[in-house]
Amino acid sequence: MNKSKDFLRAIVDEDLKSGKYKEIVTRFPPEPNGFPHIGHAKSIYINFGIARDFKGHCNLRMDDTDPSKEDTKYVEALKDAVQWLGFDWGDNLYFTSNYFPRIYDYAIKLIKMGKAYVDSLSEEEIRLYRGTVTEAGKRSKYANRSIEENLDLFERMKNGEFKDGEHVLRAKIDMSAPNMKMRDPLLYRIRHAHHFRTGDDWCIYPMYDFAHCLSDYIEGVSHSICTLEFENNRAIYDWVLDTLKLEPPRPYQHEFARLGINYTVMSKRKLLELVEGGQVSGWDDPRMPTIAGYKRRGYTPESILNFCEQIGIAKANSMVDVSQLEFCIRDDLNKKVPRVMCVLDPIKVVIENYDRYEEIDASYYPHDVPKEGSRKLPFSKEIYIERGDFMQNPPKGYFRLTPTQPVRLKHAYIISCSEVVKDSNGNITEIKARYYPESKSGSDTSGIKVKSAIQWVSAKEAKRVEVRLYDRLFLAEAPEGVEDINPNSLKIIKNALVEPAVISEKPDVRFQFEREGYFYADPVDYSDEKPVFNKIVGLKDSWGKKAKSVKPKPQSKKLHVEGEVAPMSEVEQKLFDNYTKNLGLNSEISNTLARDEQLSHFFKEALCEFNSPIGIANIIANEVARELKDKRVDDLKFTPKQLAQLVKIVENGTISNKISKQVFEEMVKTGENPSQIVQTKGLVQISDPAKIEPIIDEIIAKNPDNVAKFRAGNTKLLGFFVGLVLKNTGGKANPKVVNELVAKKLNT
């Protein structure tokens, strides 16, 4: 190992040197009650990684002590995840349930030592008796039972003579221990439930604190590595193993910081809610932070391992930026995958002076990528280009095709527009063009200057594919669950066109679609009849380039390093004061706008069209600023005036706030007027209760369990229902109306 060691490896190293253990044995011990997520990837990487580095081994142990939530399908998912990440447990796949008989024997031993007793207090009493952090607890009167009585009761618990909750087995430690966990912790409880492996053999199940340390010991684990929230449990871990006077060597527990990622939910329980609520298509929905989700989306195992390596192992919990994970996949694919052409929103171009057919030999990789390979790219009279790559009335600085500006077709010729064909509504249906025979890429002698190259496909040879564009699943930086779902996290494009090479390549390949991002053939839904591609991640944009931009601009608060905020110039300060004092903007938004000349100018122009400072400033400081991270104002397709119109139709209630995001996305792509987009896509907001109520009724009828939970007091579920209704209307329903109606219906 050449890397400097993290604190866990330092401990392991020391323990080997001192001869405490002959072999390093770690384990990854998930509970099979859900699919593993990226947090588990970190744990896998640590446990299997350490075992590998020190030539020991790592056990995969299913911690299956809670029969009610566990299932074989989760066992399979866990095995899959470990394998996919490139690790191998060899013969060491274990189940805690295999040890139930031995753990039971250890419990008997503790009882015989006078170190454990059967308690018959109710759950509520046990909680009350435990005391508080500042107050000692009180021992149960049952703690005085004789060893014989305890043995008898415990056996009868095992034989199924009692109901759930009637008795528990507890360790006899110290009811006034400062560590609350040590106040006679529970070792066993009664659960009359069917276990997916042991069936009905048992109706008592060991608690985590009892089962885990013993399982580690039974397996000969040396280092039991877990997350920080188990820090206080370590005392029980040690107490059990020491009290039983087990033959050495025994395992020791070490804690590290749990992985948290912003805009991501990281708990199997919450992820299960999304699956059960239908907010995602399943555990492997490509938007899910599960290993199965990343795998299906097209992430590579290498990218996830790199991410785990980069974030390191710490002793204090912290939040990792999701863009770091996105960076890792981009970084991995950038130099690996072939670059091909895909047109998402096609418009036909007829090249009038071209009457041949040719196949262009086009490299899959740019010069700076040390990989080779090429394909034959069909070129013909009729091609498709991206609708947004042509503009009839372009704003200044638009570099692609216009009636007066030629453009290069990537790998092929330069074309210019000779005529624009429109339908009776004025929509462009076709572009007539001319090509320059001398301008072929690689042997261009035409002398014509172009400002950009665009993607295209030959009309006849192109293949129709479905493309699924994913956005973050959650809008909130620290999402709770369903209530923070991003309603636009999935956009399906049914009729995208790709060049034929994309289809003839083997499945399980990733591509870069030029100028769009990285894509992966969906392993589940892809078929020859309907090829489906998932967008893995967009092209590198966000931070690298931003850092290089001439003028540093504060993007958002969290990017600032404490104490490093540059003072404002006089002009900026004036703007800032005007925004906060006269226009009523908050200081964060004012700060963003005032410090950025492009944004403040954009803002000023938009206000001339529609005077609603707060609404306009919001969208400029967020959405427009995001667009400008890698573009200049001149490259934007939409104008300040159009943006103001968008705010106007939100404020007059024509469209909902949610839909406005969708319209904005469209404006970004096409530069069309917002009201035009709303018209063609039928996005007008629905506020009429008569239209919304039937949808609510249907959703209520379909979710009786959640209705019952809501009525029993889980009012958080209101968000769940509202979310479903909004989703059902494609985000078009007026959220305020929906909220009121849902609340009314659920409360009656």
Binding site for ligand ATP (CB under 6 A): 29-31, 39-40, 42-43, 226-227, 258-259, 266-268
3-state DSSP assignment of residue 2: coil
CA atoms within 13 A on the CB side of 1: 15
CA-based max dimension of the chain: 102
Give least dist CB 241 to ligand ATP, A.
Answer: 18
Catalytic residue among 42, 183, 250, 268: 268
Give least dist CB 44 to ligand ATP, A.
Answer: 8
Give least dist CB 708 to ligand ATP, A.
Answer: 24
Give least dist CB 39 to ligand ATP, A.
Answer: 2
Give least dist CB 624 to ligand ATP, A.
Answer: 35
- How is 168-236 classified by DSSP, letter by letter? EEEE---TT-SSGGGSS-EEEEE----BTTTBTS-SEEE-HHHHHHHHHHHTT-SEEEEEGGGGGGHHH
Catalytic residue among 5, 31, 410, 669: 31
Please identify, using beta-carbon distances, which residue of 145 and 189 lies nearer to ligand ATP.
189
Give least dist CB 28 to ligand ATP, A.
Answer: 6
Q: Is the CB of residue 33 less than 8 Å from the CB of residue 268?
A: yes
Q: Is the CB of residue 729 less than 8 Å from the CB of residue 660?
A: no
Q: Which of 50, 468, 81, 48 is nearest to 268 (CA)?
A: 81
Which residue number has the CB closest to ligand ATP? 39
Q: How far apart are CA 12 and CA 49, in angstroms?
A: 12
Calculate the CA dihedral of residues 12, 14, 18, 24 and round it to 10 degrees. Answer: 10
Q: How far apart are CA 136 and CA 130, in angstroms?
A: 7
- How is 518-570 classified by DSSP, letter by letter? EEEE-TTT--SSS-EEEEEEPPS-HHHHHHHSSS-----GGGS-TT-PPPPPH
**Catalytic residue list contains 109:** no
Give least dist CB 276 to ligand ATP, A.
Answer: 15
Please identify, using beta-carbon distances, which residue of 301 and 500 lies nearer to ligand ATP.
301
φ/ψ of 409, rounded to 5, equals -85, 120
Please identify, using beta-carbon distances, which residue of 28 and 518 lies nearer to ligand ATP.
28
End-to-end CA distance of the chain: 66
**Catalytic residue list contains 268:** yes
Calculate the CA dihedral of residues 97, 99, 103, 104 and round it to 10 degrees. Answer: 70
Catalytic residue among 115, 258, 472, 745: 258
Please identify, using beta-carbon distances, which residue of 111 and 311 lies nearer to ligand ATP.
311
Please identify, using beta-carbon distances, which residue of 232 and 267 lies nearer to ligand ATP.
267
**Catalytic residue list contains 309:** no
Give the count of beta carbons closer than 10 Å to the beta carbon of residue 500. Answer: 18
Give least dist CB 291 to ligand ATP, A.
Answer: 12
3-state DSSP assignment of residue 99: helix
Please identify, using beta-carbon distances, which residue of 31 and 238 lies nearer to ligand ATP.
31
Give least dist CB 261 to ligand ATP, A.
Answer: 9
Please identify, using beta-carbon distances, which residue of 295 and 661 lies nearer to ligand ATP.
295
Cis ω on the peptide bond leading into residue 101 (within 30° of 0)? Answer: no
Give least dist CB 167 to ligand ATP, A.
Answer: 26
DSSP state of 140: -
Please identify, using beta-carbon distances, which residue of 43 and 660 lies nearer to ligand ATP.
43
Residue at token pair 């399908």:
73
Please identify, using beta-carbon distances, which residue of 29 and 185 lies nearer to ligand ATP.
29
Give CA separation, 299 vs 40, 76, 135, 309, 329, in Å: 16, 20, 51, 16, 6
Q: How far apart are CA 20 and CA 362, in angstroms?
A: 61
Please identify, using beta-carbon distances, which residue of 29 and 640 lies nearer to ligand ATP.
29
Query: Token digits for 634?
Result: 């001149």
Give CA separation, 652 vs 592, 642, 647, 655, 740, in Å: 26, 15, 9, 8, 20
Alpha helix segments (H runs only) across 222-373: 234-243, 268-276, 291-297, 301-311, 322-334
As a three-state string, the secondary structure of 382-442 is: EEEEEHHHECCCCCCCCCCEECCECEEECCCCEEEEEEEEECCCCCEEEEEEEECHHHCCC
Give the active site residues.
31, 258, 268
